[in-house]
Amino acid sequence: MDEISYKLNAEELYYGMVDVAKTRLITKIFKILSMVLLGAMAFVTVVTMKSGSFNITTGYVITIVLALYGYFLPEISAKVQVPTIVKNKAPLSQQLKLNFYKTYFSLSGETFNHKINYQKLHSVVETDDFILLKTAEGSADILPKRAFSTDQLLKFKSILGAVEGLKVKLK
C-alpha cells in the first residue's frame, strides 16, 4: 500500500476539470464542429469582403459567438464551476488521501470515503499535470502528479498499466 495526501488549489482544480472535459468525446466533437464553423465564417467573411457586400448582421455575430463558445466550452464551464466547488467544500476541493493497492484504490476526504477496483474504472488518462481516474465518461478523480514521489508515480502507473481491459493512456 502507498498513501498520498494532497489538496487541489483552485488553479489545479480548474486545470484538472478542463483536462477531464477535454477527454470526453462530446467535447472533441464540439471542438471540431466549432473549428469547421469558424473556418466557414472566415471563408464567408473573406468572400463577402472581396465582393464588397460584407456587413455585420446579428446572425453573423451570434454564429461567431456560438462557435467560440463551443470551442472554449471546457474552459468556460470550469471557470464557472470552480468558485462554487471551492465555496461549498465539495469533495474535489477537500484535503484528500489516496491509498493505492494492486487491485484497487481508496480515496477519502473530509466528507466521503470510497474504494474502487481498478477494473470498475471507465478509463485512466495521464496529462502533463494529472492522473485522471475516470469513473465515467464525464467524471474523474483528479490526482495531481506533484503529490506522488517519482517511485510512487512509477509504481502507480505500473499497476494501472497491468489492469486487464482498462483503457489506459499514460505518458
pTM: 0.85
Query: How high is the pLDDT of residue 89?
Result: 82
Residue keyed to cell 466533437: 29
Which amino acid type is present at position 120?
K
- Residue 100: name the closest of 86, 117, 83 by CA: 117
Hey, what CATH topology would domain 2-6+94-169 get? PH-domain like (2.30.29)
- Residue 114: name the closest of 137, 96, 102 by CA: 96
DSSP states of 48-67 = HHHHT-----HHHHHHHHHH
d(CA 152, CA 133): 16
Q: What is the mean pLDDT of each run of 10 residues along the chain (171 residues)?
A: 93 96 94 96 94 90 94 95 89 91 94 93 96 93 96 96 93 86
